[in-house]
Amino acid sequence: MRLAKSAPWLRAAVLLPALLLPFGLAHAGKTLDQIRQRSQLSCGVSTGVIGFSSVDSQGNWRGLDVDVCRAIAAAVLHDPDKVKYVPLNSQQRFTALQSGEVDILSRDTTWTLTRDASMGLSFTAVTYYDGQGFLVPKKLRLTSAKQLKNAEICVQSGTTTEKNLNDYFKAQGVRIKPVVFEKFESAIKAFFSGRCQAYTTDASALAFIRSKEAAKPDDYQVLPELISKEPLAPVVRRGDDEWFAIVKWVVFALIEAEEYGVTRKNVETMKASPNPAIGRLLGSAEDSGKPLGLDRDWAARAVGAVGNYGEIFQRNVGADSPLKLARGLNALWNKGGLMYAPPIR
């Protein structure tokens, strides 16, 4: 439409909504619309990785990746239990997300260039910084992965783990024999039966495998090297910027909550805090939900459902879990780690 020069008021009336849109209530986006219509978030998880996503003895899904989905469901559906968990192996996970079978992949998945740039997917925010290591029998008396010359090494197919294994030893000039399995469980079983001299995967998983899967844990050791960077992050389909922003900022809100001391137990009382940053996070001072197409209590519900990032870490993989992993790189930025959230403002 062409606006007459003699009608500045008309031009202003037409342009004003466009100018205000970025600062007002955002459109929800097609993915969120679908989630709200079915009143359920479809979350792709692993087939069973303790600490990240696995089923407990009561049939409930537990883990760090599971808590991310629960936090998102709390933020967008007002109920952390409105999640359908879809177990996916390494070969199935990306196809399930691309096809729309799941709304989000929260499944110990490493962020890489190829996955981010060529699969029609977008990685959101890192929820765990990991690295690949090796589990070996102590009887081999190894002190370094470089000593695995001509060794048979059990590894799961369709993972960055398999590629890292080949890349590392090629760079070292060391020949090895990968023994590839489609399923996580099959690879572990083969290793403990003596089929391979070593088993390789993310170090977070090796700690559990040694303590819970080995008949005699003291007969095994994790070698000191980490041979890769494994930033694990939830993944969404490309093309829905609104949903991408929601998932990303829910993760950031959990990290920000830890930084400001907002916990699962005190989230309601902290709404009265005079700290402006806490007021923005919890919606008591400013409505941070508008740009996301959510209400002002979105972050408060997420934290109230699962706790802040530190609570999630400690419960699932840290001191209160069977893994008992140190925070390390997953500590907050102001405590020597890499966990850092952009400001909510």
pLDDT of residue 13: 42
Nearest-angstrom CA–CA distance, 179 and 155: 6
Run of H or E residues at 305? helix 298-306
Using the predicted structure, report yes or no on whether residue 93 has a pLDDT greater than 50. Answer: yes
Neighbours of 210 (CB within 10 A): 17
Residues 6 or more apart whose CB falls under 8 angstroms from that of 136 comprise 142, 148, 197, 198, 199, 220, 221, 223
- Is the torsion defined by CA of 230, 236, 240, 246 positive or negative? negative
pLDDT of residue 15: 42
Nearest-angstrom CA–CA distance, 63 and 90: 18
User: Which CATH code for domain 132-228?
Assistant: 3.40.190.10
Using the predicted structure, report yes or no on whether residue 342 has a pLDDT greater than 60. Answer: yes
Q: Write out the two tokens for 217.
A: 């844990």
Q: Give me the percent of the chain exceeding a pLDDT of 70.
A: 92
Q: Write out the two tokens for 59.
A: 């049939």
Name the range with the highest mean pLDDT among 49-58, 69-78, 150-159: 69-78
Domain 30-129+232-335 identical in fold to domain 132-228 = yes
Instruction: Assign a CATH topology to domain 30-129+232-335.
Output: D-Maltodextrin-Binding Protein; domain 2 (3.40.190)
Lowest mean pLDDT among 7-21, 40-54, 123-137, 242-256: 7-21
Nearest-angstrom CA–CA distance, 53 and 203: 16
pLDDT digits (tens, 9 = 90+) for 216-237: 999 999 998 999 999 999 999 9
Using the predicted structure, report yes or no on whether residue 24 has a pLDDT greater than 70. Answer: no
Q: Could you tell me the end-to-end alpha-carbon distance of the chain, in angstroms, rounded to an integer?
A: 36
Nearest-angstrom CA–CA distance, 50 and 61: 10
pLDDT digits (tens, 9 = 90+) for 109-137: 999 999 999 999 999 999 999 999 999 99
What is the Cα gyration radius of the chain? 23
Run of H or E residues at 161? helix 160-172
Q: Which runs of consecutive H residues, i.e. helices, occur in 40-89?
A: 64-77
| Greatest Cα pair distance in the chain | 90
C-alpha 18: how far from its chain's center? Answer: 35
Q: Where residue 27 falls among pLDDT bands split at 50, 70, 90? A: low
Q: Where residue 335 falls among pLDDT bands split at 50, 70, 90? A: very high
Domain ranges for the chain: 30-129+232-335, 132-228
Nearest-angstrom CA–CA distance, 163 and 152: 15
pLDDT of residue 208: 82
pLDDT of residue 26: 55
